[in-house]
Structures are given as C-alpha cells and as structure tokens.
A = this chain, B = another copy of it.
Amino acid sequence: MDAPLRLIASNPLDQLAKTVEALLVVASAPLTAQDLAEAAADDPERVEAALGLVGERYREGRSGIVLEHVAGGWAFRASREAAEACARLIEKPAQRNLSQAALETLAIVAYLGPCTRPDVTRIRGVAADSAVASLLERGLISEAGRDEEAGGAIRYRTTPLFERVFGLESLSELPRLDDLGAGVDEIRDRLHAVAEKRTA
C-alpha cells in the first residue's frame, strides 16, 4: 500500500500518538491495535509503538486518565485514586448489587456462551428469567441470535462491557473449568473418610 508510506513521512510517531488519544477518548468500547490502525490509516506496528507513548503518558499515578488493555483492546479509564469521586458521579454502575443468581448466570453464559435461558435453568435448577433480564439491562450480556435446534430459544453471550467490568483482557482469562469444582472432590474425600472410620 502506498498511502501509509506517504503518511509515515508526514506523520511522526508523536502525531500518531495524538490521533490514538483522540480515537480512544471518543470510543465507547475498547479498540484493538487493528481498529486504531484502520481509523488512523496507519500501520499496526506503528500504532503499537504509538500506544507505548500513550501508555507512558497515561499511566497510573501520573494522570487522572489511565490507558488499559482490557476486553481484547485498549481503553481509557479513570485512575484508581479517583475511584471514590467516580462512584459519586456514576450512580448505577453495571456491577453494583449483582445477586448470587445473576453472578451464577453470568458465569454460565461466560463459560458456555452463547447459551439459552433453558441451558442456564438446566444447570442452576431454577428459572433464570429475572437474572437474565437484570444482566441484559446492565449490559453485561446481550442477545446472540436464536438456537434453531432448541426451538428458537434466544441465545445470550457476555459483552465487552462484561470484560471491562471484570477487568479481563478476554474470556480466556477466566479460570479453567478443570481447576474449579474443588468442592466436589472435597465432599467425596470427606465421605470416604467417614466410610473408613465406619469400617475400621
């Protein structure tokens, strides 16, 4: 491509960093280096370098604005020092007062998503309607089409907002399912212990 070459000459890295700042301040979701490169009409490697400059300028403690890699992309957030002030400003962040039912539903959608309400009900053992509605309203999950096999039930998946709220770079940062469920083994062990006592 010719255009980026031409731009490189007229667009020193500092200029590109300013463009990246501008793009990040108007974006409503994290942007990947690829997104930024396409919008800036520049090449991804130079964008990565510019992100380095921006990250240096907006790092924790230095400014009230912090650059963070989250949900598979880059986004500005408020510095941790300003958390109390932000809490006073933003009345109902998505994460306040999530019920146990909502958290379990969120976990199921995050691990098994996209999945349907009947899927969630099957695992939790109780209807998930109100938990799903509250997660939808908070924007932590969204619709992901219908499951044609399951009679057209609507499927849900987690949103980029979910990753931002939980500070995940991607869903792959969730703990491995194999590492969870230690309680199952513990119960089995305790039962065995009781059984051994009994036969002893």
Contacts and interface: CB of A to CB of B under 8 A. Distances in A.
B25 A100 contact: no
A108 interface: no
A190 B162 CA distance: 36
In terms of DSSP, what is the predominant structure of the interface of chain A? Answer: helix
A20 interface: yes
Nearest to A84: B41
A9 interface: no
**Interface bin, chain A:** 35 or more
Give the interface centre of A85, A88, A133 by most chain B CB atoms within 10 Å: A85
B23 A151 contact: no
A64 B145 CA distance: 38
Contacts of A35: 89
B126 A78 contact: no
Interface in A46-73: 63-65
Contacts of A31: 89
A171 to B, nearest CB: 19
A74 to B, nearest CB: 13
Contacts of A133: 127
A106 to B, nearest CB: 14
A31 B21 CA distance: 21
B26 A77 contact: yes
A38 interface: yes
A14 to B, nearest CB: 10
Nearest to A155: B100
Interface of A: 15, 17-23, 25-27, 31, 35, 38-41, 63-65, 76-79, 81-82, 84-86, 88-90, 99-101, 124-127, 133, 136, 143-146, 151-154, 194, 198
